[in-house]
Amino acid sequence: MRTMYPEIEPYRSHRIAVDDRHTLHVEECGNPQGLPVVFLHGGPGAGLSPYHRRFFDPQRYRIVLFDQRGAGRSTPFADLTDNTSWHLVSDIEAIREQMDIERWVVFGGSWGSTLALAYAQTHPERVLGLVLRGIFLCRPEEVRWYYEEGGASWILPEKWQRYAAVVPPAERSQMLEAYWKRLTSDDENVRLEAAKAWGAWEGGGITLEESPETEASFAAPEVALSLARIEAHYFRNHAFLEPGQLLRDVAKLRHIPTTIVHGRYDIICPVKNAFDLAAVWPEADFHVVVAGHAASEPAIVDVLVQATDRLADRYC
């Protein structure tokens, strides 16, 4: 099985102001003359991690990564103003132009797959290839499965109880709205309690095997506040997408070399999401592997690194 490439540090970092309010943290790694690729992180609101740089051969790729609006080192932190899918699509184009890149590979997992599809369907002429992991289409049933009705609670009952405990029983029929009220409260302690519970719930379902360290990292305030606030903002607005939009517009992408990989036992984004996408995209290279949701799971890493290597072989 393929593994991630060795750890690498950026050779250049940028602060890019995309409007009067938002400034993005952007970094470049690998070979400045290599095949350009843009990495789209999950969440929305999760931000970058150092291992995100390691899915690409640093000798052959110019790796561009950025913290999306309100996430990570982008500012203002956890901000919801002018923060929609279409603002993010515009930001990706602004980064591409700033970097003087004509076309690039687009790599995204979980929410990053949602954003990758939205970007590629808006600017297909700018995309050399797509690598998509842990498919999330942000349909109402997907949000209900994990955050609302507690379908996932049948698999993670003790963790669901901790997630639900923040909300009084009378409000639990609408968990997303109950959390939204707390995540936007004027009381900082209320916001933090809700964010930490949301982050722990998400982090607790991300890996196939139990990982207390992952759960704790998602519940840390510096991650949880942006993750919970921005996710709730996007989910209650259906990611600012039209119903069925991402599946409807796959026709715009069918000529683009694409790999889709999904964990069979992904609790956060059930594997049906990937099957629904592959059904309208028969040209895509589709893999279902023994894994959960996390990009770091060995079976998922294997497919992702093979996919980026094939694209490098094709274009370099």
Q: Is 70 left (phi over 0), alpha (psi -120 to 50) or beta?
A: left
Q: 266, 287, 296, 302: which one is catalytic?
A: 266
- Among candidate residues 233, 293, 296, 302, the one labeled active-site is 293
Is 52 tagged catalytic?
Answer: no
Burial class (CB in 10 A: 0-12, 13-18, 19+), 132: buried
Reported as half-sphere exposure (CB side, CA atoms, 13 A), residue 3 has a value of 2
- From 110, 113, 226, 296, active-site residue: 110
Pairwise CA distance, residues 226 & 196, whole Å = 10
287 is a catalytic site residue:
no
**Cα angle: 10, vertex 114, 249; to 5 degrees:** 130
Q: Is residue 293 annotated as a catalytic residue, yes or no?
A: yes
Active-site amino acid positions: 110, 266, 293
